[in-house]
Structure 1
Amino acid sequence: MPAAQMIMEEEEETTSQPRTRQAAINRDRKGVHARLVVDYFANGPVYMTAMFRRQFRMSRWLFLRIADDLVRSDPFFTFRYNARGQRGFTTLEKCTTVIRQLVYGTTHDSLDEYLRMSKRTTRECLYKFCEWVVKLYSKKYLWKPNRNDVQKLYQAYEERHGFQVMLGSIDCMHLPWQNCPTAW
């Protein structure tokens, strides 16, 4: 029997059965927060400024500013206990999981080993984070550039890189390159 057919039959068997509630996983949320603070946010962190910038693609100051703005805007990003009295995730944990997903383009459950956050919670953090970043920063940072702004971008890019045509093609495929391996 082909492997694909066996997988389909197994899926049919599991979907036809009534769903049972999965046992709760001890995620050691207090330990996760402590490890995250020691690694990145303590006065003498394990991963210093350069490593933080490489891991998060932003400065620690900017990360903390965004986290503070989110806490002031939506109670979802504050530390809370759930209805069963279990410890929830902190602001740092929620923002870290979102930034890591955006930086590395990973799936919702890929950070479970380090942050011990379920796929559902990670997805919810991502949606809320994106919603609030647009609400908070769109007027100042996410605006459509006008003709004057585009001209300034062209001039700055030409001064730095020596050619002006940067908008319209992210990979600059429209520019001839003498060392292009594909052309060889």
Structure 2
Amino acid sequence: MNKTLFLRIVHRLSQEVEYFQPREDAAIRQLAYGGGADTVDEYVRLGETTARICLHHFTAGIIQLFGDEYLRRPTPEDLQRLLYIGEQLGFPGMVRSIDCMHWEWKNCPASWKGMYSRGTGKPTIVLEAVASYDLWIWHAFFGAPAPQVNFYVNGNPYHLAYYLTDGIYPN
């Protein structure tokens, strides 16, 4: 998260959501590091229950303050704008781009490890995100890795499924 966005969120939450006006905030740290509620108790001296309540208020505040603008389905106007931009970029009919990444699943049950390892020995789970050219995320999903498939392109064998994407992401 860039500093400008972080400060915008902090300012709006501290000005408009009563819960965040006089207290320390562990919710951002929980989200930033992906830790559980019990991982912030020593650092910010908050108990697990308080950290959970803080995270709940944080997510409710984000929905309240930014939901109408960011947590919504694309409107017909959004769709027309995305189609126009896609055509200008040389991809007629494209509204969004999909990207996936594998996150290591540290607490994967031993009996499931083989299904989620993709031959690497470490189980992973897939984060799938669909974003428009301006990096507006329209869809995100955590799920099982792509099934193993077998196909050939130009005589080369491939064994994993894929999504076709373009180079819209900045370096």
TM-score (normalised: structure 1): 0.45
Greater C-alpha Rg:
1
